[in-house]
Chains A and B, each alone.
Chain A
Amino acid sequence: MSSASDFLREYLTVLILGGVGAALVGLLLGASHLLRPARRQPGKSLTYESGVDPVGTGWTQSQIRYYVFALLFVMFDVEAVFIFPWATRLEAYGGFGLVEMGIFVFILLLGLVYAWRKGVLKWV
C-alpha cells in the first residue's frame, strides 16, 4: 500500500465519518425544527434559577484556581507529548535516554510539588 493512498484511505475515511455524523445531526435538527411546535413566550426564554426570576446576567467571572489547573494541565500535556516519541522507541536511546527523561520528569514534578506545597492544589 503506497503512502499516498494510505493517506486517502485512513484520514479521508475519518473525515467522511465526521462529515456524515455532522450532516446527520444537522438533518435531525432541521427535521425537528420543521415538525416541533414553536410558540414563543417571554417567560419561556428566561434562564433557570431554581424557580425565581434570574438575577443579573448569567456571565460572571470564574475563579483563578481554574487557571492554575489549566496551566498545570498544559504542563503535563506537553510532558506527555514529549514522552511519546521516547516511549515508542525506547531501545534506540538506551540508558542515556532514561537519564534524560528522568531529569525531565523530575523538573516537571518540581513544578507540581511547588503548586502542591503552596496549597494551590487544595480545593477549599
Chain B
Amino acid sequence: MFAIDPLLESVDGSAVLIVLLKVVVAFAALMIAVMAMVWFERKVVARMQNRLGPNVAGPFGILQTLADGVKLFFKEDLLPREADRPVFRLAPYLSLVPAFLVFVVVPLGGDFSNDRHGVVSWFGKETLVQVADPHIGILFVLAMSSMAVYGVMLAGWSSGSKYPLLGSVRAAAQMISYEAALGLSLLAVLLNSGSLSTNEIVSGQSGWNWNLWATGVVPFIVFFIAATAELNRPPFDLVEAEQELVGGFHTEYSSLRFALFFLAEFMNTITMSAVIVTLFLGGPNGPSFGPGWLQAILPTVWFLAKLLVFLFVFVWLRGTLPRLRYDQLMDLGWKLLIPLALGWFLLLAAFKIGQDEGWNRAVVGVVGTVVILLGALLISMAVGTARARRAAVEVEA
C-alpha cells in the first residue's frame, strides 16, 4: 500500500543516488576543508608573526591538524564536578550540527550565465551543485546561526564554573547583537534578488552584476563585520579572550569534546565565508573559457578562489588587529552597524521603488539622503543632550 505513495512516485534510483552522493561529498569536502583551514590559519599567522608554524607532521606540516585530532581523541575526558551532565554532553552537538547544516544551501558550482540557473546534468538528471535549495535558503542560514548561540551558551552554563559562565553569557550577548546587524544587512541583497533562495540570489548576480556593488558596498561591509563578530573571530574574540577568560565557554571541555568545539569554530568560518561569497560576490559566477571539461569545473574554481580570499582575510585580521573592548564591541554593533544597515536599506528601497514608479532619481536621492542625515542628526542630538544632562547630574552629586 505504500508503493503508491505520491511523494515517492517521482523518485527513482538516480535521484536517490544524487542525494546520497551530495551528502557524502559535502560532508567529506567540509571535513577536509576544515583540516586544511586549521593548517592554513596556523601557517599564515605564523608567517605574519615571523614564525615557521607547523612544519613537522607531513610536508609543510600539512598533517598537523590530523595529528592534533588523533591526540585529542586519545585524551582522557574530564567532567567538572558541578557540571550539568546531560547539557554538558549535548552542547558540542548543538555547536557542530548547525555549523555544517549552513553549508547545505551554498551553491558550489554550476553555470549561472545566460539564465541557466546553475543547473547541471548528472546521471541524466538535472540538478544543482548544492546539497539542497530550500525556498527559504538565506533564512535557513540565519536560523542556523541563531541556533549556534545555544551551543555556546549551554556549554558555558553547564560547566558549572565561573570563567565559562562569564564567557558564555558575554558570547551569547555578542552573537545576538551582531545577528541583528547580520539580518538587517541581508535585506539589501534581497532587494536585488527578490527571492530568499540562494540559487536565485546567485542567478541574479550573473555576469559581473555582483551584489557587492549592486547594493553599494555598505551592506557588504556591515555583513562582513557582523559575520566576523558572529564567528567570534579576532578582533571580536572576546568570547575566549585567553588573557581574561582563560578560553571562555569551553574552558572546562577536554579531549574530543573540546576538539568538536574547535572544529565547529573553523567550520563556521568556512561556511560563513561561503555565505558571504554567495550573497555578495556572485558565488560561482566568473568568466568561462576553454574546453568543455574546463568549463564544467571553472565555476567551482571561481567559488573556491573567492572563498580563499575571505579565509585569508579572516586570518589576516587575526594577525593584525588588537581585540576590541566589550563596550567598543557593543557600541559598534548597536550604535553604528544597525542604524547604518537600516538607513542604507531604506535608501536603496526608495531608489528601487522610485525606479518602478518613474520618480526622478535625483530627487529620490536628495530627499532620501536628507531624510537619513536628518535622522542621524536627530539621534545624535537626542543622545548628546541626554548625556550632557546625566553628566550635569553626576557633577552635582
Contact = CB atoms under 8 A, between A and B. Distances in A.
Report whether chain A binds chain B. yes
Interface of A: 1-2, 4-5, 7-14, 16-18, 20-22, 24-26, 28-29, 31-33, 35-39, 42, 44-50, 54, 57-60, 62, 66, 69-70, 72-73, 76-77, 79-80, 83-84, 87-91, 94-95, 97-98, 101-102, 105-106, 109, 112-113, 116-119, 121-124
B237 to A, nearest CB: 17
A60 B386 contact: no
Interface of B: 6-11, 15, 19, 22-23, 26-27, 73-82, 92-93, 96-97, 100-101, 104, 131-135, 139-140, 157, 159-165, 169, 172-173, 176-177, 179-180, 183-184, 186-187, 190-191, 193-196, 246, 251-252, 255-257, 260, 326-327, 330-331, 334-335, 338-339, 342, 345-346, 349-350, 352-353, 356-357, 375, 379, 382-383, 386-387, 390
Contact of B10 (A5, A10, A35, A36): A5
A13 B104 contact: yes
Q: What is the interface of chain A mostly: helix, strand, loop, or mixed? A: helix
Given A38-B77, A80-B180, A113 B382 contact: yes
Contact of A101 (B97, B349, B357): B349
A76 B338 contact: yes
Nearest to A102: B346
B74 A18 contact: no
A59 B161 CA distance: 7
B187 A84 contact: yes
Contacts of B180: 72-73, 76-77, 80
Contacts of A45: 78-81
B352 A90 contact: yes
Q: What is the interface of chain B mostly: helix, strand, loop, or mixed? A: helix
Contacts of A122: 327, 331
B335 A94 contact: no
A88 B195 contact: yes
B23 A20 contact: yes
Contact of A28 (B159, B169, B256, B335): B256
A72 B96 CA distance: 27
A87 B161 contact: no
B356 A91 contact: yes
B147 to A, nearest CB: 11
Contacts of B79: 45
Nearest to B169: A62
Contacts of B386: 116-119
Contact of B196 (A29, A73, A84, A116): A84
Contact of A22 (B97, B133, B140, B161): B97
A9 B17 CA distance: 12
16 contacts: A14-B104, A20-B23, A21-B100, A45-B81, A47-B252, A48-B163, A48-B252, A58-B165, A76-B184, A84-B196, A90-B353, A91-B352, A105-B342, A106-B375, A112-B338, A118-B386
Given A36-B73, A60-B162, A88-B193, 6 more contacts: A14-B104, A48-B246, A58-B82, A77-B183, A87-B191, A90-B353
B187 A80 contact: yes
A117 B335 CA distance: 11
Contacts of B23: 13, 16-17, 20
